[in-house]
Amino acid sequence: MVGASIPEINSERIARRLQLRWLLGWFVFVLVCVTIALGLWLWQQGEPLRQMRGAVQKRHWNDALRRALSYLANHPQDAEAIRIVARSFSGLGQNAQAEMYFDRAGELGIEDLRLRGEVLIELNRPTQAVEVLAELRARGDNDPAVIQRLAVLQFQRGNHEEAFELAEQLGKEFPTHTALAWCVQATFHVSLRHAQQAIDCLQEALRLNPQADKLGLDPGTVKMFMGAAWMDLGKNDQARDWLQAAVEHTQTAEAHWYLGEAELGCGNLRAADQCWHRALELDGNYFNALFSIGKLSLQENRPLEALEWLNLADRQGRQSSALQTALSRANARIGHEDVAAEHARRAEDLRAKESEERDERRLLSQYPQHLQSRLLLTRKTIERGNIAEAKAMVDELLRQHPNSPELRDLRKSLDNPETSR
């Protein structure tokens, strides 16, 4: 029989197995080496991001910013680095730069959205801030502060009905914030000069929180609002009681000026004068106190003294027809007829301007039902130089009125720096 013997066959098999094991061993060794090298490379690549994250966690904003900007020079599209730059600028109080990078970062997480909302509020861009906070709500963020900020922003934008609805929602969704919700509504009524409604809301807030220490405002400010509302109703005795309580909590020029006005309404002229002088001790340029002392001096037939106070008030740059009228009367009493006539002319011009502003406020009170009221608010935003907010306002309007040529032309002009100045 021709063929290899059994020992020879077995030795060949053993040799092949050893060879295969040797090859497999080398393959595993090479694979492990490549894996380790790849891991080290990935670790090295991720090290800058880890260092940035660590700096952010420690609130070392300058260090985080320096590292993130250096990293972005080589990785300009890295979303995490862009977000870290935005957070760092925000932490440093450089809100305009922070918003620029938040806008570049694309989709943001909950924490970054909250931070971006705060940045937009600081930049006085309420329309954009509302969009960000609304997105937070849509993602299920149940932070009551978000609802409160939304309510305040909508009120600032002139959307009063929605602002009140959000404030009521705050109290319903978060029972521990019910007193705060009443206080928020009261501040809205105070701004709208709805005195009785403001008092009703403040009474509810104080019933739930008598110390007024959980109402989102300084307790003295809450009581000052209550006093001011009673003054608007002509109830100076009640106003004085609240304002006396207010100045026990808050030593501000505004609170002492209000108390002086209440004392004046009660016929206590010397007490009123003392309150106004106390207001000036706290703020030597406080217009209302200067004007009130000047008016009282004029009322008591002390025109030279009145002129000193009224001229100080005039230097504050406040455009007031009432002040110009008082200056005209004081100068007339000491025989300065030409100066009195000049102030009288200024008073007349300012009365016409104030009448126009009242008409504008009436139109703005119709916001957002009427397009023209919203266009007026947009143009006033442009006049203040807040072009980014104006663009957001026009974009919002265009979503509701896409075929408006006036809106399209306005939006186009806002993209032209020369036109939008």
CATH of residue 280: 1.25.40.10
Residue 231 lies in a domain: yes
* pTM given for the model: 0.76
Q: How far apart are the first and last CA of the chain?
A: 108
CB atoms within 10 A of CB 187: 22
What is the per-residue pLDDT for 43?
45
Residue 119 lies in a domain: no
CA–CA separation, 409 and 73 (whole Å): 38
Structure tokens at 170: 């705050």
Residues 280 and 316 both lie in one domain: no
Residue given tokens 């990078």 in the structure block: 101
**Which residue segment(s) compose the domain that 309 sits in?**
304-353
Residues 278 and 236 both lie in one domain: yes
Contact status, residue 195 vs residue 239, Cβ threshold 8 Å = no
Residue given tokens 């442009």 in the structure block: 382
Residue 312 lies in a domain: yes
What is the per-residue pLDDT for 239?
96
Among 314, 333, 353, which residue terminates a domain? Answer: 353
- Amino acid found at 413: S
Spatial CB neighbours of 413, under 8 Å, sequence gap ≥ 6: 419, 420
Residue 42 lies in a domain: no
Contact status, residue 269 vs residue 247, Cβ threshold 8 Å = no
- Establish whether the linkage from the previous residue to 368 is cis, with ω within 30° of 0: yes
CA–CA separation, 103 and 83 (whole Å): 9
Residue 158 lies in a domain: no
CB atoms within 10 A of CB 204: 18
Structure tokens at 157: 């934008």
Contact status, residue 116 vs residue 108, Cβ threshold 8 Å = yes
Structure tokens at 186: 């009261």
Structure tokens at 285: 């340029």
Contact status, residue 401 vs residue 378, Cβ threshold 8 Å = no
User: pLDDT tens digits, the chain, 421 residues: what are they?
Assistant: 445 555 655 666 666 766 777 777 777 766 766 666 555 444 444 477 788 888 888 888 999 898 889 888 888 888 888 999 999 999 999 999 999 999 988 888 899 999 999 999 999 999 999 999 999 989 888 889 999 999 999 998 888 889 999 999 999 999 999 999 999 999 999 888 899 999 999 999 999 999 888 888 889 999 999 999 999 999 999 999 999 999 999 899 999 999 999 999 999 999 999 999 999 999 999 999 999 999 999 999 999 999 999 999 999 988 999 999 999 999 999 999 999 999 999 999 999 998 887 777 676 665 555 677 778 888 888 888 889 888 988 898 888 888 888 888 888 888 875 544 4
Residue 339 lies in a domain: yes
Among 335, 353, 371, which residue terminates a domain? Answer: 353
CB atoms within 10 A of CB 178: 18
Structure tokens at 230: 């009673």
Structure tokens at 383: 């006049």
CA–CA separation, 355 and 289 (whole Å): 24
Spatial CB neighbours of 148, under 8 Å, sequence gap ≥ 6: 167, 170, 177, 180, 184, 216
What is the per-residue pLDDT for 406?
86
Cα–Cα distances in angstroms (integers) from residue 304 to residues 272, 288, 330, 331, in the given order = 20, 19, 7, 8
Spatial CB neighbours of 113, under 8 Å, sequence gap ≥ 6: 132, 135, 136, 139, 141
CA–CA separation, 187 and 193 (whole Å): 10
Category of 276 on φ-ψ map: left (φ > 0), alpha (ψ -120 to 50) or beta: alpha
Residue 317 lies in a domain: yes
What is the per-residue pLDDT for 323?
96
Residues 269 and 317 both lie in one domain: no
Q: Rg (Cα) of the chain, in Å, rounded?
A: 34
Contact status, residue 345 vs residue 333, Cβ threshold 8 Å = no
What is the per-residue pLDDT for 417?
55
Domains identified in the chain, total number: 2
Q: What one-character DSSP code corresponds to residue 385? A: T
Residue 204 lies in a domain: no
Residues 267 and 314 both lie in one domain: no
Residue given tokens 């008073």 in the structure block: 347
What is the per-residue pLDDT for 370?
67
Indicate the SS3 state at residue 259: helix
What is the per-residue pLDDT for 45?
43
